[in-house]
Amino acid sequence: MSEPTQKLRLGALIALVVGSMIGGGIFSLPQNMAARADAGAVIIGWVITAVGMLTLAFVFQTLANRKPELNSGVYAYAKAGFGDYMGFSSAWGYWISAWLGNVGYFVLLFSTLGFFFPVFGQGNTPIAIACASVLLWCVHFLVLRGIKEAAFINQLTTVAKVVPLVTFIAIAAVAFDADIFTRDIWGRSNPDFNGVMDQVRNMMLVTVFVFIGIEGASVYSARAEKRADVGRATVIGFLGVLALLVLVNLLSLGIMSQPELAALQNPSLAGVLERIVGPWGALFISLGLAISLLGALLSWALLCAEILFATAKDKTMPAFLRKENANHVPVNALWLTNVMIQLFLLITLFSEGTYTSLIYLASSMIMVPYLWSAAYALLLTQRGETYEQSGTERTRDLLISGVALAYAIWLLYAGGVKYLLLSALLYAPGVVLFAKAKREQGEPLFTHIEKGIFACVVVAAGLAAYSLYSGVLSL
């Protein structure tokens, strides 16, 4: 396949953004949110999320247009602004978050299929893991056929997964009961809830998990047919997914009370629709979720391989990761990613609790690349770089990037110290690949500033390891 046939148009880029964000999270959103907050706090949380994530979407749009030479988004921005080690760490954390999310998608997919075939149980029985492993390698070899072919299939699954969500919204809008929605809007009767802002903070990691993938088009900026389409795809995809998420969440709170939603099994959206229309509703949502997860698996297989390939291409990761096959697919990056997914699928057989915690850890880790992207956009506006003749645009982008950076910092706080420490434990081993890449280039491992940063990472990782050993922290 020649290189020109690999170029992706606006529709394919939008599908990558939407397909990456709409996975399993939205189908479990009613229960996940109700377990942490009631309707009033949920509304406040979505307002914060909408503003914060929209500014991040604008950051990716602005950087795609103002820095067209920086391909592959989140990784390239961190490196350009803050040096090789920050760029490497951004790519490393993004990659880990992405493939951990894929482990979650595989388990949730077969847990959903357990609705039809009890042998799959909660998605982590031996037969479920065996079937998940077969599916993993089917996706692997599909992606090896070429980026454009896989992106086309992703477009089809993106359309298919949106249909049951729109159907749910239409039915729930008719059945919505304002009395149920406002019955205990601030959650004051729930002894498990503290103040409203505590409820808002507790729901933040859930909102991050359902929005992971907003940078999908930026990761593929090098393969876009038109550079401007990268920013357009990011904003259009974000606004569409935001509307679906907010409507699914808020309408559910007008169908069932917060305690009822919190007690549902996931995918909780199936339980909500079953309450309205009967058993066929649960079946309909389960089928939609299965299609959604298949599409998300494909999207993230593409993204995981691309981020490693792009990092290796400019020599921040070792050279073996930039090898492509005849179809211009980064073959070694794809193999490394799927081997790690296979390993963690096997781990879920023996450590269900660890798996669940790592999914939340994936949400925390993705915020580090987001934070560096926002910080780089802010840095450009402060320097005036690329803003020589546009004072108004510079002021606007300064405000947007400042809000995006504040939001990213807020999310790290909302995740808590536990996940910061556990993130450090996963970031620290990445230095092995970073050192290999530096050795290949004959360059020193760290600058003076990077030595201090890495020392902090090692200290935090050591503290996390000791806390896990002593029982202070648990996975």
Residue 433 lies in a domain: no
When pLDDT is cut at 50, 70 and 90, the band that residue 69 belongs to is confident
The whole-angstrom separation of Cα 340 and Cα 435 is 20
Q: What is the pLDDT of residues 257-283, one digit of tens each?
A: 989 998 887 778 989 999 999 989 988
Residue 145 lies in a domain: yes
The whole-angstrom separation of Cα 259 and Cα 256 is 8
Q: Check residue 278 and give left, alpha or beta (phi > 0: left; psi -120 to 50: alpha).
A: left
When pLDDT is cut at 50, 70 and 90, the band that residue 473 belongs to is confident
Q: Give yes or no for a contact between 17 and 238, defined as CB atoms under 8 angstroms apart.
A: yes
Q: What is the pLDDT of residues 168-187, one digit of tens each?
A: 999 999 999 999 998 888 88
Residue 17 buriedness (CB in 10 A; 0-12 / 13-18 / 19+): buried
Bond into 68 cis (ω within 30)? no
Rg (CA), the chain: 22
CA distances from 150 to 8, 160, 297, 303, 329 (A): 11, 15, 11, 11, 11
> Could you say which DSSP state residue 472 is in?
S
Higher pLDDT among residues 353 and 341, named by residue: 341
Domain with residue 342: its CATH number is 1.20.1740.10
pLDDT at 113: 83
pTM of the model as a whole: 0.80
Percentage of residues of the chain with pLDDT beyond 90: 25
Return the number of other C-beta atoms located less than 10 Å from residue 425's C-beta. 20
Structure tokens at 98: 């992405």
The most confident of 82-96, 218-232, 353-367, by mean pLDDT:
82-96
Show the domain range for 347.
Answer: 3-418
Residue 454 lies in a domain: no
Residue 434 lies in a domain: no
pLDDT at 193 over 80: yes
Number of structural domains (the chain) is: 1
Structure tokens at 234: 């990011």
Beta bridge partners of 224: 8
The whole-angstrom separation of Cα 299 and Cα 212 is 12
Q: What is the pLDDT of residues 84-97, one digit of tens each?
A: 899 899 889 888 88
Residue 467 lies in a domain: no
Matching residue, tokens 């990213």: 408
Structure tokens at 218: 């930026």
The whole-angstrom separation of Cα 321 and Cα 332 is 5
Residue 18 lies in a domain: yes
pLDDT at 6 over 60: no
Q: What is the pLDDT of residues 402-452, one digit of tens each?
A: 999 998 888 888 777 888 888 888 899 999 999 999 999 999 999 999 999
The whole-angstrom separation of Cα 354 and Cα 144 is 31
Bond into 267 cis (ω within 30)? yes
- If you average pLDDT over every residue of the chain, what do you get? 83
Residue 461 lies in a domain: no
Residue 375 lies in a domain: yes
